[in-house]
């Protein structure tokens, strides 16, 4: 009988707060949220047009630049500050 052991690598998660300029309405925040969710390794996203903030939970290997590009792809939006929580 052959026994196969699967190695499960535990991936570290990080929480990031993005300050985003250019959002004016709920549709804007939805577009940004949808675009960020498409980034590989992003697990959860919440974007608030009221506070101009995006809260992202992602694998530790997700790069800041990937998230900035995703925000820009969603429209005329720009990440002006990134903070790891």
Give the residue extent of every domain in the chain.
Answer: 13-84
Q: At 30, is the secondary structure helix, strand, or coil?
A: helix
Q: C-alpha distances in angstroms, 39 versus 3, 44, 59, 66?
A: 35, 11, 10, 7
Would you say 26 and 44 are in contact if contact means Cβ atoms under 8 Å apart?
A: no
Question: Strand pairing partners for 42?
Answer: 58
pTM of the predicted model as reported, rounded to 2 decimal places: 0.85
For the domain bounded by 13-84, which CATH number is listed?
3.30.70.100
The CA-to-CA distance between both ends of the chain, in Å, stands at 48
Return the axis-axis angle of helices 26-37 and 64-73, rounded to nearest 10°: 140
- Per-residue pLDDT of the chain (85 residues), as tens digits, is 565 555 555 668 999 999 999 999 999 999 999 999 999 999 999 999 999 999 999 999 999 999 999 999 999 999 999 999 8
């Amino acid at each position: 009988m052959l026994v196969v052991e699967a190695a499960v690598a535990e991936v570290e998660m990080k929480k990031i707060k993005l300050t985003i300029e250019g959002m004016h309405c709920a549709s804007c925040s939805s577009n940004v949220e949808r675009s960020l969710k498409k980034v590989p390794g992003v697990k959860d996203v919440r974007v608030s047009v009221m506070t101009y903030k995006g809260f992202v939970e992602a694998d530790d290997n997700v790069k800041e630049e990937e998230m900035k590009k995703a925000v820009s792809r969603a429209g005329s939006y720009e990440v002006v500050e990134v903070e790891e929580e």
